Amino acid sequence: MDEEPLHERMETYERLASDVAEATRERDETANEIGDRLAAAITEAVEREGANVVQSGQSKDGHRYRFTARLDRAALVAALTETLPNGFVVSHVNDDGTMSVEWTGSDRTPSKRERGAILKAIIAEEMEFDGDGLIESVPTRERVLARAVELGVEEDEAASRLSRLATLEVVDLADGHVYPDENFSRY
């Protein structure tokens, strides 16, 4: 058994607990500051890219009209590749506009990750769903590559990255179309 008096062990415990509490507070403050700076970068990109507004319905009497404003996710991701601080990349953008921004663990963002994020956003943007939320249609490979070129990605780089995403089971390339695969939401 340890011969150190118990009151000294308690003093050590209290000092360590205080150190942990201070480190936790500093960690949380740092995380909040990082989040605020990323939100500012995203806001800047959204302001630059704007939103698409489409008519989504009207009343039977024609007096009320309903509109839906939605972001062009692919254009937003392309803009964010230039706006986000080095080392950060968009990993996923959901239908409702929520998104995940991931730190790559490096002081710079690999261009492959940026191109992959843009391609995933294009695929997500081009997919159509039925009323039950099931995929109704997916984009063609040619449409994905053409949209990537519109967003500033070289065609050969887009094609290469699309093939790599298929190897990683992020997408499935079949019959000239691009389908989301099992890792689509995780990569």
Residue 84 lies in a domain: yes
SS3 178: strand
Residue 65 lies in a domain: yes
Residue 133 lies in a domain: yes
Rounded CA-CA distance 144/105 in Å is 28
Per the CB < 8 A criterion, the answer to whether 60 and 80 are in contact is no
Q: How many independent structural domains does the chain possess?
A: 1
* 3-class DSSP string for 43-101: HHHHHHHCCEEEEEEECCCCCCEEEEEECCHHHHHHHHHHHCCCCEEEEEECCCCCEEE
Residue 52 lies in a domain: yes
59-109 pLDDT, tens digit per residue, is 888 888 888 877 788 888 888 888 889 899 888 777 666 788 989 888 887
Determine how β-strand 65-70 pairs with β-strand 52-58.
antiparallel
Find the domain containing 135 and state its range. Answer: 6-180
Q: What is the pTM of this model?
A: 0.74
